[in-house]
Amino acid sequence: MGSFKGHVLPGTLFLLVGAWRVWSCVVRFAADPSGFRVRAWSPVGGSGGHLRLLELYVVAGGAFADMCVEVLYSTHLRIFAGGGVNPAHLNDLEHGGMLLMFFLFGALALLSQHTRYLPLTDGALCLVAATAFTAEFVLFYFHSTTHMGLEGYYHYLLVVLVGLCIVATVLGALLPASFPVDLASGVLIALQGLWFYQTAMTLYGPMLPKGCARDATGHIDCHARAAQERAEQLANFQLFGVVFLAFVYVLGCYAVAAARYGHPELTAMHEKHVAAMECHCDAGAGAEECAI
């Protein structure tokens, strides 16, 4: 992953899956608020057969393809050297191990759908997904390649997002009827994808901050402490930017889903909430006026 393409490929997978899960989540809630349930994966509605499992095929197939790139292509099949694992490619093998966990999640979910030998509930699959995110968290937190300076800061912010993914996914298993938890899980997955893109553009692309330079080995060095601090502040602003984009996307999805698929119960819930807020703010309202 220590390259522009190495960040864009997993970023694309995370972004596509996260954006789809956000849309699917708000549609399911708008169509049936009281019957809403957390899903470990979101089927493609209105289609049968294999297309219904498109998300799982994207997860399993994308993770497998990226794993082959890390383990086979990046190492040039020189995995072993001197009677042991080649230390020059430990970084690639660690990435491959993380991707293996996401492949296993997709494969287990597909197996659960296609056969009767491994019937896994959404709660169980949420815990499997949390295990994959935990592997990703451990990888980027205890990385064999020492990330220092600006590289370390961008990876630190990524670790924060991955940690929040773990929390949201575990809560999905514990709170199977929570709309905010399912929505947060999709948003955080999409944010991971956006941050992979931002990291690629900054560390390996044209957005390298002023005062920092990339050496022959690809490492980033900021020439002065002021340049380092300015670059980190820029990273904070970029994170705010991707969070804002996700916020706008969620609002847009919810507005469209409520207009197209909105259940009458959704309008009733909104009116009840507005009435309760008005009564709470109106100190002079009588008990009869605030009865809902």
Residues of the chain with pLDDT under 50: 144, 284-285, 287-289, 291-292
What pLDDT score does 118 carry? 87
Q: Quote the CA–CA distance of 198 and 191 in Å, as a whole number.
A: 10
Q: Do you know the residue count of the chain?
A: 292
H-state helical runs in 142-174: 149-174
Contact of 241 with 169, CB cutoff 8 Å: no
User: In whole angstroms, what is the distance from residue 19 CA to residue 28 CA?
Assistant: 14
Collect all residues with Cβ–Cβ distance below 8 Å to 2 and sequence separation of at least 6: 91, 145, 218
Cβ atoms of residues 39 and 24 within 8 Å: yes
pLDDT digit string (tens) for 249-262?
999 999 999 999 87
| pLDDT attached to residue 254 | 94
pLDDT value at residue 222: 87
- pLDDT number for residue 217: 73
What's the token pair of residue 142?
Answer: 């205890």
Tell how far CA 252 is from the center of its chain: 19
Q: What is the pLDDT of residue 74?
A: 74
At 210-233, the pLDDT tens digits run: 888 888 777 788 888 999 999 999
Confidence (pLDDT) at 20:
96
Torsion sign, CA atoms 109, 35, 250, 236: negative
Any idea which residue has 């970029």 for tokens?
Answer: 238
Collapsing DSSP states into helix, strand and coil, what is residue 171?
helix
* Sign of the torsion angle spanned by Cα atoms 92, 97, 103, 105: negative
> Given this model, what pLDDT does residue 110 score?
94
> What residue ranges in the chain does DSSP mark as E strands?
80-81, 84-85, 212-214, 220-222
Token pair belonging to 159: 């670790």
